[in-house]
Structure 1
Amino acid sequence: MAAETTDRAPYVIVGGGMVADAAARGIRSRDADARIVVLGEDADPPYTRPALSKKLWTDPDFTEADNDCGTASATGAEVRTSVRVTAVDTAARTVTTDGGDVFGYETLLLATGGRPKAGPVEDGERVISFRTAQDYRHLRRLAGEQRHVVVVGGSYIGTEIAAALIQNDTRVTLVTPDDVLGGSMFPPELALHFQRMFAGAGVTIRPGARMTGGEAHPSTVLVQLDHDGGPLTADALVLGLGIAPSTELAQAAGLAVDDGVVVDEFLRTSDPHVYAAGDVAQYPDRVLGTTRVEHVDNAKTMGQAVGELMAGRTEPHDHTPYFYSQVLGTRYEAVGTLDGTARTVQDWQSDDGVGGPGVVYYLDEESRVTGVLLWAVPDKTDEATAVLADRTPQDEGSLRGRITAG
């Protein structure tokens, strides 16, 4: 028998991140008065996650207070932090928390995001799997004063953290499995430029290496790599190994799960009263096909859409998200898949050549575009999406000049 319901709301959101904030705003845009309850496991109310590895490190006038989404004040939602939902009962339409509270819902959103993939050393005082605002504050305490931090992972979070630290009086060693930093995403010439950016800023790069073990001590961390001699000694270790979608609740509730919680074009799960959005949702994208996207544009746009859909919108979600990163004064944006081994058409549009403003088109075996990288080319993601949506074969003649930096 289901637990007795002690509280009920038309809208319950499980997860306290950017998706929850956007969803609350989407609900409120169509339902001015209904109660919204947000149950977040995070210790902080919704905040802008990208700033944790970028702007909070590089803009001295931007504070954590500025980074707060202001969800409760903007929407009237009841935002509860440090609450872990332990069970969803779709038959009774209830969720149960680790504190024993039971909330009934008419419509439920799973915005549970993902959890950092574990490394060979457990998190602790000097080891951080970077994900949350608490992790940001923790790393701030360990950084600066020429302390040495080892960052493991050469993708988005790893490179952003390495760039942030090196600009804040911290010695940095960046460990990446790529033979050249960024080589899994960028064509060889651009990857080499990318690596030189970091080396020029003072980052020590250990390419073609993986962390195999290590030990955390009260004042140091030892990091063992799979080659090149003995362990690295550092003041702190940051693991940026990506995330795995948090699907446990959905799976236990009997909802369809694959690479994430499976939803349709209306962001509904296999239960019509339960929706999912953000990092955790596997959805049908009109351009990308069935996919799951872990970037901020997806969190904001899908979050807004799912809130509106929960509150009565009838049009499906049809936005194809872009992603971006900003490191060492360079911003790049992209749509689709960036595969460093793919054939590319590179359209560099200044005398600087590779690394100056330009567009890289990634092609499959049938010469169709599968990814578009905009390197220092702002405000062109809609054009990039249109190129991606064109499934006809392309070549240098059809692609050069198609998207311009001006």
Structure 2
Amino acid sequence: PEVPSHVPFLLIGGGTAAFAAARSIRARDPGARVLIVSEDPALPYMRPPLSKELWFSDDPNVTETLRFKQWNGKERSIYFQPPSFYVPVRDLPFVENGGVAVLCGKKVVHMDVRGNIVKLSDGTQISYDKCLIATGGSPRNLPAIERAGKDVQQRLTLFRKIEDFKSLEKISREVKSITIIGGGFLGSELACALGRRARTRGLEVIQLFPENGNMGKVLPEYLSNWTTEKVRREGVNVMPNAVVKSVSVCGNRLVIKLKDGRKVETDHIVAAVGLEPNVELAKSAGLEVDSDFGGFRVNAELQARSNIWV
């Protein structure tokens, strides 16, 4: 069969946490057989360069190569490991020294906690000895944008994946104005990355957020102010204390109305307003979700049930 019916270690999710877990399991148990099931069509990769280093590359083909220069000047790919590092999924039960296999573009939709079995969206069942749920989060949207209808949402990027980098990179070459909503890490990084482009391309980059300054939720005020100055120097029009009331299409432009009456006209919006934990599996697995923080509830060993860790 294409997919093994049983694996000793099953990791649900194909991000940094799952890759790190696979590496640690193999380090402690060199013969371990580990299967990663990922909704993402790509092998496990780093997300931070998508909003930082990749934008500063001189390579015109960067959206294809996905290679960047590290702080030490060495070049590397955003993928943690090349395809040759992984074992083909169908060979996982048979390879002599075990290994890590990745099942890409597949979603686990049901967990039978007592039977130690998961079910994929295509009906395939896989049993496991030990399971890790590392399903990460999905980017949040703003209610004001969700209410705004299709025309607005077609000109919206919720930035998270390789595809989002590729599409925003292309958009940044085609439009005159991009507005980033959100003043945290991601919003501020993207603002700087696009601001750098703005100088050479005549692109207008606006960043707006409700706090008094960039990173206002995590930095003390004096550092937040310093950061905002830095972002402005990168060519970004930073608008603090801005709460979005509504977004509409006017002619061929987007109009963002703020609570205080100000209006911002732009061509494309990037919403960087945080993540929503992916906890759909909790229902079928009967796992508890924390009502305050939204994540899976676990014990001190990060265990949610016997044989299931989060």
TM-score of the superposed pair, with normalisation by structure 2? 0.79
- Indicate conservation of the 8 Å contact 2:41/2:104, yes or no: yes
The aligned counterpart of 2:79 is 68
Matched, 1:171 2:182: no
- Shift of residue 26, structure 1, vs aligned partner: 1.1
Read off the aligned partner of 2:102 and give its amino acid letter: V
Matched, 1:250 2:282: yes
Read off the aligned partner of 2:302 and give its amino acid letter: L
Matched, 1:274 2:272: no
The verdict on how the C-alpha distance between 1:188 and 1:98 changes in structure 2, with shifts beyond 3 A counting, is same
Matched, 1:29 2:58: no
The aligned counterpart of 1:45 is 43
Read off the aligned partner of 1:134 and give its amino acid letter: E
The aligned counterpart of 1:81 is 104
Matched, 1:213 2:215: no
Read off the aligned partner of 2:134 and give its amino acid letter: A
- Indicate conservation of the 8 Å contact 2:175/2:267, yes or no: no
Read off the aligned partner of 2:24 and give its amino acid letter: G
- Shift of residue 179, structure 1, vs aligned partner: 2.4
The aligned counterpart of 1:121 is 145
- Indicate conservation of the 8 Å contact 2:181/2:187, yes or no: yes
- Shift of residue 105, structure 1, vs aligned partner: 0.7
Whole-Å separation in 1 of the counterparts to 2:287 and 2:249: 39
Secondary structure of the equivalent of 1:168? helix
Whole-Å separation in 2 of the counterparts to 1:217 and 1:44: 37
Whole-Å separation in 1 of the counterparts to 2:306 and 2:251: 51
- Indicate conservation of the 8 Å contact 1:180/1:195, yes or no: yes
- Indicate conservation of the 8 Å contact 2:132/2:309, yes or no: yes
Given candidates 297, 306, 310, the residue that maps to 1:262 is 297
In structure 1, the gaps of 5 or more residues are: 277-406
The aligned counterpart of 1:345 is none
- Shift of residue 129, structure 1, vs aligned partner: 1.1
Q: How does 1:280-359 map to 2 (within 5 A)?
A: none
Read off the aligned partner of 2:183 and give its amino acid letter: G
Matched residues, percent identical?
A: 30
The aligned counterpart of 2:228 is 195
Count of aligned positions: 270
The aligned counterpart of 1:160 is 189
- Shift of residue 256, structure 1, vs aligned partner: 2.7
Secondary structure of the equivalent of 2:232? helix
In structure 2, the gaps of 5 or more residues are: 68-76, 88-99, 147-151
- Shift of residue 192, structure 1, vs aligned partner: 2.0
Read off the aligned partner of 2:243 and give its amino acid letter: R
Read off the aligned partner of 1:262 and give its amino acid letter: R
The verdict on how the C-alpha distance between 1:255 and 1:7 changes in structure 2, with shifts beyond 3 A counting, is same
- Shift of residue 220, structure 1, vs aligned partner: 4.0
The verdict on how the C-alpha distance between 1:20 and 1:225 changes in structure 2, with shifts beyond 3 A counting, is same
TM-score of the superposed pair, with normalisation by structure 1? 0.62
- Shift of residue 218, structure 1, vs aligned partner: 10
- Shift of residue 102, structure 1, vs aligned partner: 1.1
- Indicate conservation of the 8 Å contact 1:53/1:164, yes or no: yes
Read off the aligned partner of 1:32 and give its amino acid letter: P
Read off the aligned partner of 1:204 and give its amino acid letter: N
Read off the aligned partner of 1:193 and give its amino acid letter: W
RMSD of aligned residue pairs (Cα, Å): 2.4
